[in-house]
Amino acid sequence: MTSTGVKKLLGGALVIAGGLAIVAAPAASAAPHYSCVTTGGVVFRAGPGQNYPAEGRTYRAQGFDALGFQASSQDGAVWANGNLQNGPANVWLPASYVGTC
């Protein structure tokens, strides 16, 4: 190939001269990818803020499939919305308690 053609195929990324990269995504896994709740006993709520009703508590290292994040105008904290593994769906908890497993 010439210098203006394809330069390298590495790790699923196709790098083309001129800095343009085309990335081929790997096949989707059947298992969901979870973050984890980093501390046990975190109160999860019906909405993004302490003014929403408490719905329960998490356990440490509980899987959490985050769907989105939102800052609360009431308490200034960032809240994570998602589904708890082996627990309820569409819950909110402080984003500071969501981390890697």
CA distance 5 to 76: 51
Instruction: Identify which of 61, 45, 34 has the alpha carbon closest to the alpha carbon of residue 94.
Output: 45
Residues found in the chain: 101
Each residue's pLDDT, cut to its tens digit, for the chain (101 residues) gives 444 443 333 343 334 444 444 434 344 444 556 799 999 999 999 999 999 999 999 999 999 999 999 998 888 899 999 999 999 999 999 999 999 88
CA distance 90 to 47: 9
- The architecture that CATH gives domain 35-99 is Roll (2.30)
- The pLDDT, as a whole number, for residue 68 is 93
CA distance 67 to 86: 16
